[in-house]
Chain A
Amino acid sequence: MRLPQNQICRGPLDRRTFLTVGGLGLGALTNGICPNLPGLLASEETIGKLDKDFSVILMWANGGPSHLDTFDLKPDAPVEYRGEFKPIRTNVPGIEISELLPNLAKMADRFSIIRSLHHNRNEHSGGTNRFLSGYTPTAANPSDGEYPEIASVVSHQLERTAKDIPLVVANTKFYGGGPAYLGAAQSPFMFRGDPNSPSFNVGDLTVTQEALKEMKTRKRLLTTFDRFRREVDRKGSMSALDKFNERAVAMLTSPRTAKAFDISKEPDEVRDRYGRTGWGQGLLLARRLVESGVRFVQLQASFKLSTEAGRVSNWDDHSVNTHTFRAYRERMPVFDVAVPALIEDLYSRGLDKNVLFIFCGEFGRTPRIGHQDKATKRPGRDHWSRAMSIFLAGGGLNMGQVVGATNSRGEHPVERTMDSNCLLATIYRRFGIDTKQHYYDNSGRPVPILTDGEPIAELL
């Protein structure tokens, strides 16, 4: 089947589509109509007014998580599709998720799942650039995105609100991500190392008391000797340099940033609740960061599998890479401790109104299970951008619902079919960023932040 091109997410359907689907019955139709038009219109008034508090924690399952084994199970599909896992009920009637997620199942009123996004790029970096920028790169397998990822756009848009902590923080550069034509200045601040390790610290932002004294001396000397008249640079880069130097000093000397990164400040019971794992401590760190003023945290969700389960640390569960079901049996228990702990915290600390947690990858996985690995014949799933599931919690969005549905084999959306840009549009809307603004690419063409995709009405 060919998916409709440039499908937008806003109902009601235009007249012609209405006529074509007219015979499908009310159920299919009402799914296309946005249930919350007044809400959507009200929020439209806020476009262009930057939200002061909204922030995002993106847990990125690089490689592409399987929707069929996590949030969109198909127990009635033929055996070569459905996989090993059974769905379980959650505390919201009608919402079912994988049996590997019993803790999450108790809090479905605090998350939402979108099952009907799709896009058109099936390779990792191209898919990542497509999914995170809203644009289709021309090159195959670009290691850096041709279009800026959403975090870079957010970084640029919020620049003037920046204080003494980075706006965007990430643990890794995404393969196929990056700031593209927005320039290196809009790259996330990268911290290295595993937040679960006792020796975790953040290189450039860590300053000992002794080093701090020296730094202040050097900065004082710089002020003494930096007498070049900045006014002669009418492009303003000299005054910007002075400004950034001041901010860097403020950031390095302010306790705020160092404290935000100092995860050892958390009581042991909190750290234990998240799980003493890379993901658990990473999400705890992310929570500390957004509480301190970071507006976009990107955590690439790498995971060390046992040798029996597979040979990769990403979510690229081809037969040649992993035994996909064993891999999920190893990952998901860790996930099911870390994510519920974060959601718990978001709600108990009142962050759920402003902090949006997202879990997803660049695409879903092939519904039909393959066994290509010659040696083991183990089960695997390949790349699948025609369907994917997005897991969301908080962010002041409507929780406790599933938006859209895929067909009986999880191959493609059949209800609320939406381009993945609709998710970007939703996030931009919450930030108050007007997506009609454009940037110039390196050939001088104006490229709007988004050309299509509209906020997902059910969520707003």
Chain B
Amino acid sequence: MNNLVQRFSWILPCVTIAITMCVCTVGAANETASRLDFTNDVAPILTKLGCNAGGCHGKSTGRGGFKLSLFGFNAHEDFDSVSRASRGRRIFPASPDDSLLLKKATMTVPHGGGRRLDRSDPEYRLLRDWIAANMPWGTGAARIEQLQIAPAERQMKRAEKLQLTATAIYSDGSHRDVTRLVRFSSGNPAVAEVGANGLVQTKNRTGETTIVGLYQGRTAVSRVITPAANATAEVERRLAEFDVANLIDRHVIEKLKLLRVPPAAIVDDGTFLRRSTVQIAGRLPTLMETQAFLDDQSSNKREQLIERLLASEEYADQFAQKWSDLLRNKRRGQKPRIPGTIAFHRWIRNAIAANMPYDQFVREIITATGNVTVNPPAQWYAEVRYLDRYVDDTAQVFLGIRIGCARCHHHPFEKFSQDDYYGMAAFFARIDRKGGAGVAERRADETVFIKAAGEVLHPLTGKVVSPRGLDGEELEIAPYEDPRQALVDWMQEPDNPYFARAFVNRMWAHFFGRGLVEPMDDLRATNPATIEPLLDELAAEFINSKFDMKHVIRLICTSNTYQLSSQAQDEDLDETENHSRFYPQRMPAEVLLDALDQTSAVVTRYKGLPVKTRAIQLPDEDYSNEFLRLFGRPKRESACECERTSQPSLAQSIFVMNNRFILDKTTSKDNYAAALAADQRSDPEKLGELFLTAFSREPTPLEMRNAIEYLASETDKRKAYGNLLWALMNTKEFMYIH
């Protein structure tokens, strides 16, 4: 609260001017009160003060009996709440200062939300004048059409200040400075912060951030870039010498030149082999593969490797798992659902293996009908069951947008309203099901079909909503036709701004550890890509390739950007968004467990599946395994990749240190350690192989010396090799893709 008061007093001098400027555009100063308009003048104050925030009166049920629309998207409702509801108890035109609205806001009477306003604030005066003028609604006033923030883009030095100005443009062409009323936020406060007044201050750091302004449901963005302070000749040389292999490199190096951050070195063969094998095939390279790759002298061996991996069975396993997560292939502990989850997993895996075009892949899922045993994609509908989930999942998985907010209220940072949401929902209105067994969420073996008709009602107006893609036309669907086909048609139009971009961004995130847009499924104007033209061009390339999934992966993995080392000099480590180096990621739970199995030569068993089934091949979420649970395997409760976590935890550490499941892999009789102990070769030879197996590289002389020293200290060689194996498998070098 103190902060707020301080902030107000700090900007007070310029406030008066701003407010005067405001009203001048509406009318002469002496007529101010009678010309006040609720939507344009009063509502923005309620937003600015936070009255209509989600934790306060903007909550769906209001607070303390006073309810406002969330972030003020419904001015009519708010006008009613403020001036009429509860028999008008919140306002007192005869003595405006005694209005409950003002007494609460100034904490003259107890207010759960604390003091939001001082009597000396211009906002206070405006509210009081409005009440004194008998709360005009302000009919006929122009409405806001657009918000602009200037400058739209600016290169700045470190620790520099920049005053943004926000201008609202109205339906009658008039505009006013609303800088003081806009809610500003910085996308990356580590690069630059923004004050409530629109004053940007860059930090001592190289990078870029967006500054988002929100006002009356309109948003605008300004981008601030702080290049590296002192680019040396060495930096310039490395920027100039970077080889451009394809379109990706072209855009990335352009951005790095802007930031004057040099690209890292191209990574060595062993690391590249490990990185690409783990990311494309979901497994570690074998010892033989590693030796062969290191020995290979051909100049295009990395391209050949990518082709080999893309053609491998394990590529299908790896991406079948990703899509099984996203499409929530889930058993829910119900045996009768197993045929469905296995069939769907098989179907996805076959589609990936056959490189089914992505547009067809998506169409077959969204428009699935029938029984899972006949048409496996119908399993999606076995899990994604209600109208809101059809919309939320379709949007998040295939369009890369999070539209769920708009089910109940206008999206706070996007243009999406409830109209848009229910327009999308209307595509699913004819879905019905019959047959099957089990309760509600857990039905198995049911049949999905399309009814002759079916409609969706708007929750506020109660009117029938026609099917409509976002920003698309309202559609009329003939009886018995499947509206979902029209939805997929809309999604796959070449100018659809979401469909192709969402996919390429998801793939980018898979390989680079973060999306060009991050979070990867939150595409919106106020959350732009770090390199917008790159995202655009990749998406266009994907469309031109007729939605060839492998083509996108090939482009990514054969770029020089993908071959950059994760290592960099200290001063360049802070660059974490524009791919000047490879950002390490911890292996996903299943890949890590398979890697432990492969390295230790001790397989993990999964109930009901053949021996040697790997974790990455598990069809649904239900194969209980404590390691997988602790290391972040998702339960497929959501359509978000963020449900899978790679965060370390105490429980993981305790588990790897002291649980038999892990210890058995390093101590069992017929594991890799036992084989090494029994092996007649010299210790250095065996250690060389151990390091190649675990890290795809030879040990350094120091590592070799330490290992030999340790082996000499133990009499039990099997135990000694087991302990070494345990240690290597728990290093960051092992657990991370780097």
Q: Contact at A183–B647, with CB atoms within 8 Å?
A: yes
CA distance A224 to B386 in the complex (A): 54
The reply to whether A140 and B440 contact each other, CB–CB distance below 8 Å, is yes
Type the 1/0 row for A138-162, where 1 means its CB is closer than 8 Å to any CB of B: 1111111010000000000000001
Cα separation A165 to B710 with both chains bound (whole Å) = 32
Determine whether A14 belongs to the interface, using a CB cutoff of 8 Å to chain B: yes
Q: Which residues of B contact A448 (CB under 8 A)?
A: 54-55
B439→A141 contact, CB < 8 A:
yes
Asked if B614 lies at the interface with its beta carbon under 8 angstroms from chain A, I say no
B-contact 0/1 string along A288-321, CB 8 Å cutoff = 0000000000000000000000000000000000
CB contact between A183 and one of B404, B583, B645, B732 (< 8 Å): that residue: B645
Is there contact, CB below 8 Å, between B706 and A144?
no
- Nearest CB of chain B from residue A96's CB, rounded to whole Å: 36
Task: Give the residues from 235 to 278 in chain B that come closer than 8 angstroms, CB to CB, to chain A.
Answer: none
Known: A183-B647, A204-B654. A228 touches B635 (CB 8 A): no
Contacts of A181 in B (CB 8 A): 638, 643
- Max count, chain B CB within 10 A of own CB: residue among A146, A217, A219, A445: A217
Residues of chain B in range 705-738 having any CB-CB distance to chain A below 8 Å: 706-707, 710, 719, 723-724, 726-728, 730-733, 735-736, 738
Q: With A and B bound together, what is the CA distance between A181 and B567 in angstroms?
A: 32
Q: State which of B89, B651, B658, B724 has its C-beta within 8 Å of the C-beta of A187.
A: B651
Contacts of A231 in B (CB 8 A): 570, 573
Q: When each residue 3-31 of chain A gets 1 if its CB lies under 8 Å from chain B and 0 otherwise, what string results?
A: 00110000000111000000000000000
A452–B61 CB distance below 8 A: yes
Residues of B within 8 A of A221 (CB): 710, 723-724, 726-727
Are A232 and B573 within 8 A (Cβ)? yes
Interface residues of A in 102-150 (CB under 8 A from B): 138-144, 146
CB of B130 to closest CB in A, whole Å:
24
Contact with B along A168-192 (1 / 0, CB 8 A): 0000000000001101110101000
Number of interface residues of A (CB under 8 A): 68
Q: Contact flags (1/0) for B564-601 with A, using CB distance below 8 Å?
A: 00111010011010000101101000000000000000
Residue of A14, A244, A444, A448 contacting most chain B CB atoms (<10 Å): A444
Query: Is there a chain B Cβ closer than 8 Å to A88's Cβ?
Result: no
Within 8 Å by CB of A252, from B567, B570, B654, B703, lies B654
Given A162, A226, A445, which contacts B732 in the complex, CB threshold below 8 Å?
A: A226
Q: Is the CB of A252 within 8 A of B657?
A: yes
Chain A residue at smallest Cβ distance from B89: A15
Chain B residues positioned under 8 Å from A43 (CB to CB):
none
A45 within 8 A of B: no
A442 & B642 in contact (Cβ 8 Å cutoff): yes
B99 within 8 A of A: no
Complex Cα gap A181–B441 (Å): 20
Query: In the complex, A224→B702 CA distance in Å?
Result: 10
Cβ-neighbour of B404 out of A214, A248, A443 (below 8 A)? A443
Residues of A within 8 A of B570 (CB): 231
Name A247's contact: one of B332, B405, B640, B653 (CB within 8 Å).
Answer: B653
A237–B646 touching, CB < 8 Å = yes
By a CB distance below 8 angstroms, the chain A residues around B731 are 222, 225-228
Chain B min CB distance to A314 (Å): 17
Chain B 618-657, CB-CB to A under 8 Å as 1, else 0, gives 0000000000011110010111101101111111111101
Task: Enumerate chain A residues within 8 angstroms of B519, measured Cβ to Cβ.
Answer: 444
In the bound complex, how far is the Cα of B647 from the Cα of A244, in angstroms? 11
Contact call A248/B632, Cβ cutoff below 8 A: no
A451 an interface residue at 8 Å Cβ cutoff?
yes
| Residues in B whose Cβ lies below 8 Å from that of A166 | 650
Query: Contacts of B482 on A, CB cut-off 8 Å?
Result: none
Chain A nearest Cβ from B522, distance in angstroms: 6
Tell me the minimal C-beta distance from B116 to chain A in angstroms: 15
Question: In the complex where A221-B710, A222-B731, A232-B584 touch, is A451 in contact with B59 (Cβ < 8 A)?
Answer: yes
Residues of B within 8 A of A185 (CB): 645, 647-652
Question: Is the C-beta of B333 less than 8 angstroms from some C-beta in chain A?
Answer: yes
0 or 1 for each of A210-252: is its CB under 8 Å from B? (1 = yes): 0100110111011011111111111101101100110111011
Question: What's the Cα separation between A437 and B223 when bound, in Å?
Answer: 29
The answer on a CB contact under 8 Å between A217 and B733 is no
Residues of the A chain whose Cβ atoms lie less than 8 Å from the Cβ of B631: 184
Q: How far is the CB of B73 from chain A (nearest CB, A)?
A: 16
Contact with B along A187-206 (1 / 0, CB 8 A): 10100000000000001110
Q: Which residues of B contact A180 (CB under 8 A)?
A: 637
How many Cβ-Cβ contacts under 8 Å join chain A to chain B? 187
Nearest CB on B from A47, distance (A): 12
Residues of A within 8 A of B568 (CB): 232
- Residues on B with beta carbons closer than 8 Å to the beta carbon of A215: 657-658
**Among B404, B629, B659, B730, contact of A184 (Cβ-Cβ < 8 Å):** B629
Instruction: Find out whether the CB atom of B706 lies under 8 angstroms from the CB atom of A224.
Output: yes
Task: Please measure, in the bound complex, the distance between the C-alpha atom of A5 and the C-alpha atom of B719, giving whole angstroms.
Answer: 64
Known interface pairs A166-B650, A240-B647, A444-B402. Does A234 touch B629 (Cβ–Cβ under 8 Å)?
Answer: no
Nearest A residue to B691 via CB reads A225
Contact A143 B645 (CB under 8 A): no
Within A244-295, which residues are at the interface with B (CB < 8 Å)? 244-245, 247-249, 251-252
Kindly report which residue of chain A lies nearest to residue B59, judged by CB atoms.
A451
Q: Which residues of A contact B65 (CB under 8 A)?
A: 14-16
The residue in B59, B642, B657 that gathers the most chain A C-beta atoms within 10 A of its C-beta is: B657
Residue of B nearest to A206 (CB): B658
In the bound complex, residues from chain B placing their C-beta under 8 Å from that of A187 are 651
| B680: min CB distance to chain A, Å | 24
Instruction: Please give me the residue from chain B that is nearest to A10 by CB atom.
Output: B112
Distance between B39 CB and nearest chain A CB, rounded to angstroms = 26
Contacts of B726 in A (CB 8 A): 218, 221-222
Q: Are B648 and A443 in contact (CB under 8 A)?
A: no
A6–B59 Cα gap in the complex (Å)? 12
Is B442 among interface residues, defined by CB-CB distance under 8 A?
Answer: yes
Quick one: closest A residue to B703, CB to CB?
Answer: A225
Asked if A445 and B404 sit within 8 Å, CB to CB, the answer is: yes
Q: For the complex, is B86 an interface residue (Cβ under 8 Å from A)?
A: yes
**Complex contact B658–A204 (CB within 8 A):** yes
* B647-688 vs A, Cβ < 8 Å mask (1 yes, 0 no): 111111111011100000000000000000000000000000
Q: Which of A217, A227, A233, A244 contacts B584 (CB 8 A)?
A: A233
Q: Within the complex, what minimum Cβ distance (angstroms) separates B263 from chain A?
A: 15
B689 to A: closest C-beta gap in Å: 16
Closest chain-B Cβ to A181's Cβ sits at a distance in Å of 7
CB within 8 Å of B: which A414-460 residues: 436, 438, 441-446, 448, 451-452
Given A140-B441, A221-B723, A444-B522, are A252 and B736 neighbors across the interface (CB < 8 Å)? no
Which residue from chain B places its CB closest to the CB of A243 in the assembled complex? B648
Task: Answer whether residue B97 sits at the interface, using C-beta atoms and an 8 A cutoff.
Answer: no
Whether A205 contacts B386 by the Cβ 8 Å rule is: no
Distance in Å: Cβ of A14 to nearest Cβ of chain B: 5
CA distance A437 to B654 in the complex (A): 30
Question: Within 8 Å of chain B (Cβ to Cβ): is A92?
Answer: no
A140–B439 contact, CB under 8 A? yes
Return chain B residues, CB-CB under 8 Å to A446: 54
B193 interfacial contact with A, CB 8 Å: no
Q: Is the CB of B728 within 8 A of A205?
A: no
B701 contacts which chain A residues (CB < 8 A)? none
Which chain A residues lie closer than 8 Å to B573 at the CB level? 231-232, 234
Q: Do A244 and B657 contact each other (CB < 8 Å), given the known contacts A184-B629, A224-B706, A226-B733?
A: no
Whether B648 pairs with A237 at a CB distance below 8 angstroms is yes
Contact residue among A142, A244, A441, A444 (Cβ-Cβ distance under 8 Å from B441): A142
Top 5 closest pairs, chain A to chain B, by CB: A185-B649, A248-B653, A221-B727, A442-B638, A241-B648
11 contacts between A and B (CB under 8 A): A140-B441, A144-B635, A221-B710, A225-B728, A228-B733, A228-B736, A232-B573, A232-B584, A244-B653, A247-B653, A252-B657
| Interface set of A (CB-CB < 8 Å, partner B) | 5-6, 14-16, 138-144, 146, 162, 166, 180-181, 183-185, 187, 189, 203-205, 207, 211, 214-215, 217-219, 221-222, 224-235, 237-238, 240-241, 244-245, 247-249, 251-252, 436, 438, 441-446, 448, 451-452
